[in-house]
Structure 1
Amino acid sequence: MIDSNILYIMFAILFGLLFLNFPMMVPLITAPFVLILLFFTNISPMFLVQQMLQGISPYVLLAVPLFIFAADIMSYGHTSNRLLDFVGAFVGHLRGGYAITTSVTCAIFGSISGSTQATVVAIGRPMRERLLKVGYKDSDTLALIINSSDIALLIPPSIGFIIYGLVTGTSIGDLFIAGIGPGIMVMLFFATYSYFQARIKDIPLAERVPWSERLNVSKRAILPFGFPVIVIGGIYVGIFSPTEAAGVSVLYALVLEVLIYRTIPLKDIQKIALSTGLVTSAVFVLVAGGQALSWVLSYARIPQMIAEAVLGTDPSAVYVLFMVSLFFFVGCMLVDPIVVIFILTPIFFRAAVQAGVDPIHLGVIVTFQAAMGSATPPFGCDIFTASAVFNRPYLDVIRSTPPYIVMLLITSVLLIFFPQISLFLLQ
């Protein structure tokens, strides 16, 4: 009975404190300490503190603040507008062109930020005004923005892939490359939907941009496109590791925005770095708490118990992936994706590998569900980000999300049955 009691008390603490409106880090850290005091009195609470410190000590985690810093520099400057102008100049005049521009630019900006929430802010702010101006309803605009931001968690450098690689020991560089195919697939799904939605709702066409202006915006966007070249190209050909790519990205962002474009005064770098520090500290507290809770659950053999109860003794690879998709999707609808990856990955990883699932492919499935859950009611983190940034009611933000959820679910099924979608670039 001790196993089931641990689960009951863990969920009571997690959801009880969340219901009382505590930030996620409070129940995440409280739960493992309470479980230790109640069930494992032979273990000193100081050991959990050591586990928390161990959780944030791996070298690979240096990539997280560096990528966030690079994205903050580019968001503070004019990079997002340059990317929007470039994509809009070539597709903005098409049916649904501004909506297509949103999805494509979110994918491009995702190669800078690796964060769905950063993409909501950087791309959503300028793009929402353009979409409203050409005739889109605000609810349609908000749904498009928060769901297109999902692509940022699939296109490298994805923070979700970094956390999964940390938990499982899987190559983060390979995970980055594997996320490109699914990210492009989602972008194409959204672009196709935007085209037919615009036809059905008779959204007016924007004016075609002359080739002289296209050439001009292309010149202005050349240097920002250096980010995916650095991150994806550098890792793919083996020039540097993901952490080294993050460091080079920061240097590139500083040179671009401070020295070349001169959009950021040198004195403002300290303010940007402070913002990065605040975001990074929140991420690392979640990582530390996730490590502590994950260790307690592993010590109590909870992962084995759940895996046996859910998966049985000899599950097929497809069945395992369906269960992984279900658990991670529901989990990320309720709490932060970083927490879900830390807690649930150890439960399913061993069973999935034993069933013949490629760890890289499993990482894509896990991160895809994390991305999808980030924009899915009731508690997807991007929903609340958009609500705060655009000052819109919760119901307005989620009203038009069902079609996007359906498209993401279809993509999820395709990824399960056709793993080559994510693995073809690695062969």
Structure 2
Amino acid sequence: MATTLMFIMIGLLLLGFPMMIPLTTAALVGFYMMFDGFGQNTTFIQQMMGGIRPASLIAVPMFILAADIMTRGQSANRLIDMVMSFIGHVKGGLAISTATSCTLFGAVSGSTQATVVAVGSPLRPKMLKAGYSDSFTLALIINASDIAFLIPPSIGMIIYGVISETSIAELFIAGVGPGLMILVFFSLYALIYAYRHNVPTEPKASWNERGKAVAGALWPLMFPVIIVGGIYGGIFSPTEAAAVCVLYAVFLEFIVFRELKLPDMYRIAKSTGLITAVVFILVAVGNGFSWIISFAQIPQAILEAVGVNEMGAVGVLVSICVAFFIACMFVDPIVVILVLTPIFAPAIAATGLDPVLVGILITLQVAIGSATPPFGCDIFTAIAIFKRPYWEVIRGTPPFIFILIFSAALLIMFPQIALFLRDLAFR
């Protein structure tokens, strides 16, 4: 059965069908094989509905809506201006500013693709003009944008938290340390690149200009303060934080900055609705598919065949990293989380691994896979936004992928990189 489902999914993917079609087809075929027909099809429908029933998932469309509002408004540009005013003049400062801006906007939006658009669009022309190669620039943008998977709010963490019944608040705070660590590594690589290629520096901003830039960015900087401070101050839950985030984004872009007008809200809501529909279809079908493979005991068979249960805690973590990394090179990250998390659940429980640490590693692997050839989703976002050929977009990615894999290894060896803030806040 497992072989049949795998061939169905791979075959339909190769034929060019969107991910929801292979996943749905494989789930229906699996259901038919198990129950000898569709006489009990209400069971499958109930499982699909159960996948989108958790109240925590309400946060997903809210964060998508907030990110869309900010992408079309001034928040991203004001954050970029503030970062540039302080570090734009140092060697490699423009590249470091790009990585930092991606991290900050990720902390505001929680969306990698929104970050590619919001930060990459204004900064890529500046980096090219400063002397950075286009392959390095594109690779930096798509990989630094993936820090948004780790810095709260993270849509990937919300999906994992719902599937694994792990505290989303704990996942959010645990992602801060690894996200900042990766930013430091990317900045060091940008510094080395700038010295090796003798990239000129930008003019140094005066303290008056810096003061104006900080003043302009104060409003957008309140997003992470509201989200993180509100959640860990006990004011509201992660789901309620998403609603507050939308309200604040509307207040900021429509009333304070006056960048958007009321008619813009229709286009924003339409875009958010389309993205949300795709996400929730994937979550519903993914939950049904996960139930089928669990009912058929496919996860246990796979883990026993590979010998994961005998590997110990470190072996399980390495296996998880490899499986998620490879899967996200070909398949949408949300689908990978939905399908693979239940497969590894028995091994995670048997070895007593901290589900928060596992969630951070899974989120990191999803981030790596999203920017890794051949089918990383952020690669195609960059192709669509910047109108550049596929090979040029992926040519500069290997050093960044190495940095991300090295970061995953550090997390396995030193879990407190992720768990220190979690333990500080919740233990």
Offset of residue 312 of structure 1 = 4.3
Q: So what's the TM-score if we normalise by structure 2?
A: 0.97
Secondary structure (helix, strand or coil) at the match of 2:378 reads: helix
Offset of residue 68 of structure 1 = 0.6
Match of 2:409 in 1: 413
Maintained 8 Å contact 1:67/1:112 = no
Match of 2:94 in 1: 98
2:112 counterpart of 1:119: no
Q: What is the CA–CA distance in structure 1 between the aligned matches of 2:98 and 2:393, rounded to whole Å?
A: 16
Match of 2:133 in 1: 137
Secondary structure (helix, strand or coil) at the match of 2:220 reads: coil
Residue correspondences, number: 422
Q: What is the CA–CA distance in structure 2 between the aligned matches of 1:366 and 1:351, rounded to whole Å?
A: 14
Q: Deviations over 1:17-66 (max 9, x none)?
A: 11111111111111110122234226623322222122112100000000
Offset of residue 313 of structure 1 = 4.0
Match of 2:21 in 1: 26
In structure 2, relative to structure 1, the CA distance for the partners of 1:142 and 1:346 (3 Å cut) is same
Match of 2:377 in 1: 381
Maintained 8 Å contact 2:49/2:284 = yes
Which of the residues 191, 199, 210 maps onto 2:206? 210
Match of 1:147 in 2: 143
Match of 2:30 in 1: 35
Which of the residues 4, 8, 20 maps onto 1:9? 4
Which of the residues 208, 229, 247 maps onto 1:233? 229
Which of the residues 173, 176, 179 maps onto 1:180? 176
Maintained 8 Å contact 1:314/1:355 = no
Q: What is the CA–CA distance in structure 1 between the aligned matches of 2:325 and 2:128, rounded to whole Å?
A: 31
Secondary structure (helix, strand or coil) at the match of 2:113 reads: helix
2:187 counterpart of 1:191: yes
Q: What is the CA–CA distance in structure 2 between the aligned matches of 1:397 and 1:146, rounded to whole Å?
A: 9
Offset of residue 150 of structure 1 = 1.0
In structure 2, relative to structure 1, the CA distance for the partners of 1:272 and 1:323 (3 Å cut) is same
Q: Deviations over 1:259-311 (max 9, x none)?
A: 11111112211211111111111111111121111111011001111122224
2:244 counterpart of 1:254: no
Counting only pairs closer than 5 Å after superposition, residues 157-176 of structure 1 correspond to structure 2 as 157-176=153-172
Match of 1:269 in 2: 265
State the identity %.
54
Q: What is the CA–CA distance in structure 1 between the aligned matches of 2:91 and 2:285, rounded to whole Å?
A: 47
Q: So what's the TM-score if we normalise by structure 1?
A: 0.97
What amino acid is aligned across from residue 317 of structure 1 in structure 2? A
Q: What is the CA–CA distance in structure 2 between the aligned matches of 1:37 and 1:292, rounded to whole Å?
A: 13
Secondary structure (helix, strand or coil) at the match of 1:204 reads: coil
What amino acid is aligned across from residue 93 of structure 2 in structure 1? G
Offset of residue 7 of structure 1 = 1.5
Secondary structure (helix, strand or coil) at the match of 1:334 reads: coil
Counting only pairs closer than 5 Å after superposition, residues 345-356 of structure 1 correspond to structure 2 as 345-356=341-352
What amino acid is aligned across from residue 333 of structure 1 in structure 2? M
Greater Cα offset, 230-239 or 389-398: 230-239
Offset of residue 238 of structure 1 = 1.9
Offset of residue 354 of structure 1 = 2.2
Q: Deviations over 1:367-393 (max 9, x none)?
A: 110111000011111011111111111
Q: What is the CA–CA distance in structure 1 between the aligned matches of 2:302 and 2:33, rounded to whole Å?
A: 21
Any gaps of 5 or more consecutive residues in structure 2? Answer: none
Offset of residue 350 of structure 1 = 2.7
Offset of residue 130 of structure 1 = 1.2
2:52 counterpart of 1:56: yes
Offset of residue 228 of structure 1 = 0.4
Q: What is the CA–CA distance in structure 2 between the aligned matches of 1:274 and 1:326, rounded to whole Å?
A: 37
Q: What is the CA–CA distance in structure 1 between the aligned matches of 2:205 and 2:35, rounded to whole Å?
A: 68
Moved over 6 A (4+): none
